[in-house]
Amino acid sequence: MNEKELQKIKQKALEDKIPIIMDDTLEVVQKLLQEQKPNKILEIGTAVGYSAICFSKYLSENGKIDTIERDVERVKEAKENIKRAEAENKINIYEGDAVELLPNFNEKYDVVFIDAAKGKYPFFLKEAMRMLNENGLIIADNVLYKGYVMSDYNKHKQRTAVRNLREYISEITENPNLETKILEVGDGLSISRKIKR
Ligand code: SAH
Ligand code: MG
């Protein structure tokens, strides 16, 4: 898909208020993918397929992305976008709740991109660790959640999300099998590499 077509998908998503990956975050992730040359990527949170289409350019030959989305309308639009991008052979969409679907996944992945319900990040982490290849990356978007995560702000209606994001950050920073960086790019991006001990 050419850049102009991709920009159209992005613009429509922004108009529809769909929280697609921010430009500066995308830039960081694309650099990581360029180095990693992943064969298999797992994405949790497809939305309309924008990030998956962007990532698909960095797969190794015959590489694949499995991506999960629970919103029926978004799945429909993602399928159309992926078809327009001629990426149907690279991107598989799984329709449903990732919390229910992930325990049945048994593939190995080189990169897991977490970009869905913030209250479920600790659960997604557990599932990602189970399926991540050694030297693989777990990248999570929105981990600083507009700064709420790093402030003492906890009367917010999103406090469950904030509590779970804090738990997620503790786990990735304290797990001896992970090497983690947290970047203040976009809405906060964590990058954790699975290392051998
Ligand atoms: N990665 C996309 C944006 C994803 S937005 C991009 O950058 O282009 C987050 C998406 O996750 C939303 O579409 C939402 O419906 C979906 N989502 C949230 N919780 C989910 C869950 N538990 N299972 C599956 N999808 C979920
Ligand atoms: Mg996001």
Residue 86 pLDDT greater than 80, yes or no? yes
Percent of the residues in the chain that have a pLDDT greater than 70, as a whole number? 97
pLDDT tens track for 102-142: 999 999 999 999 999 999 999 999 999 999 999 999 999 99
What is the overall mean pLDDT for the chain? Answer: 95
Atom index in ligand 1 nearest the CA of residue 49 equals 8
Domain ranges of the chain: 3-194
For residues 13 and 171, what is the distance between their CA atoms, to the nearest angstrom?
32
Question: Residue 153 pLDDT more than 80?
Answer: no
* pLDDT value, residue 148: 80
Distance (Å) from CA 174 to ligand 1 centroid: 26
Q: What percent of the chain has pLDDT over 90?
A: 90
Token reading at 194: 């699975």
Ligand 1 geometric centre to CA of 114 (Å): 9
Q: Write the class of the CATH domain 3-194.
A: alpha beta
Nearest Cα to 107, choosing from 66, 68, 72? 66
